[in-house]
A = this chain, B = another copy of it.
Amino acid sequence: MSALNDRVKTSSGFYVTQEAPIQTDNAIPTPSVPAPDILRCAYMELVVTDLAASREFYVDVLGLYVTEEDDAAIYLRSTEEFIHHNLVLRQGPIAAVAAFSYRVRSPEELDVAVAFYSELGCRVERRSEGFTKGIGDSVRVEDPLGFPYEFFYQTEHVERLSWRYDLHTPGELVRLDHFNQVTPDVPRAVKFMQDLGFRVTEDIQDDEGTVYAAWMRRKPTVHDTAMTGGDGPRMHHVAFATHEKHNILAICDKLGALRRSDAIERGPGRHGVSNAFYLYLRDPDGHRVEIYTQDYYTGDPDNPVVTWDVHDNQRRDWWGNPVVPSWYTEASLVLDLDGNPKPVVARTDDSELEVTIGADGFSYTREGDEEKGFKLGNTL
């Protein structure tokens, strides 16, 4: 649900408010203890079913750098990273996400995290030697939304490769930008993430107050993670940033040259939300990877919150290009701390796909349009 009264319409067609206009009547209780001080999303641990195929995708095609590898796992980082890795590929029986891992400001924040999640009754596990190579003392939890979250500070430092232009490729991935999670009840998830210290930067709603998705940040970009409404808990995508837009186009061109263009699921395009230039790929297991560049600074406490109308056909693609249905419906399983897939709970709120497409939905290019400019029909 959402309070829409104070929003101001911008000249670009969306709204701004001072506070995230999201409310829930199904809140997870706010802990009495403080939340850990999170710096940023730091790495994702992915379980893949064919490690060699995944290595080819992430290393040979996307050009991520191998910090370390063995028969069971590969530790990858992006160009400017100085911590051990941004992505772990681990061979396993079922494609899934083992951890959404965040870096905290100091070693002491791990105690804070333990207290925070313990009060919430979550399963919490701590390993002083870390859960993955290159990472020290770490806490993993099954959070109240069902996601496997990790927090750590200690890590091996590795060389930042920003100046190593001799190694760079045309589609160079310079940084891990964000995660994106699928959850049935977005307002409930947002409220919990706010308790964890995240701030909402943008969201998609309708006039009835249904919230379809919300973006939240710790570092001053549009997000460290987002909550996408759908059957969950599942992982929607992990995103890496490039410096320029042509880098993203180069990835598409290379996939074409390799006759792997079917790895391109959606885009490239310009997001309405975040204003970033984007591309969505699917890895050999179907895990979705976004390539992303040029959102905006959000670090001020009064950073205006942007709200998009779900029927605005430019919200997800500023150029009005259609969102493929698989992008709405498919996502990766997440694992519990024993490595078993979490059961998926169905969304009961309206589906963004259904309210915007087809007989039961509508979208507009200009407010007041009677479906003019709604381009999906044209592609049938």
Contact = CB atoms under 8 A, between A and B. Distances in A.
A162 interface: yes
Nearest to A265: B378
Given A260-B365, A262-B372, A254 B165 contact: yes
A163 B380 contact: no
A359 interface: no
A245 B249 contact: yes
Contact of A325 (B13, B157, B246, B378): B378
A378 B376 CA distance: 12
Contact of A12 (B39, B257, B326): B257
Contacts of A244: 243-246
25 contacts: A12-B163, A12-B257, A13-B259, A39-B299, A39-B301, A40-B297, A80-B297, A83-B300, A106-B301, A157-B302, A160-B304, A163-B275, A163-B318, A164-B257, A166-B257, A166-B258, A219-B299, A220-B220, A245-B246, A245-B249, A256-B272, A256-B320, A259-B314, A261-B365, A262-B372
Nearest to A175: B297
A105 B373 CA distance: 43
A163 B256 contact: yes
Interface of A: 10-14, 39-40, 80, 82-83, 103, 105-106, 157, 159-160, 162-170, 172, 174-175, 219-220, 243-246, 249-250, 252-262, 264-265, 268, 270, 272, 275, 277, 294, 296-297, 299-304, 313-314, 318-322, 324-326, 365-366, 372-376, 378-380
Contact of A250 (B13, B39, B165, B257): B165
A128 to B, nearest CB: 18
Nearest to A159: B10
A261 B313 contact: yes
Contacts of A172: 170
B325 A380 contact: yes
A291 B260 CA distance: 26
A301 B105 contact: yes
Nearest to A14: B163
- Which of A12, A256, A296, A313 has the most CB atoms of chain B within a 10 A radius of its CB? A256
A289 B10 CA distance: 30
Nearest to A321: B264
A229 to B, nearest CB: 20
Nearest to A241: B297
A373 B320 contact: no
* Interchain residue pairs A-B with the least CB separation, the first 8: A262-B373, A261-B320, A165-B253, A256-B318, A12-B163, A165-B257, A166-B257, A80-B296
B257 A270 contact: no
Contacts of A258: 166
Contacts of A270: 249, 252-253, 256
Contacts of A301: 39, 105-106
Contact of A324 (B10, B11, B378): B378
Contacts of A294: 243
A276 to B, nearest CB: 10
Nearest to A261: B320
A379 B82 contact: no
Nearest to A157: B304
B165 A256 contact: yes
A304 B82 CA distance: 8
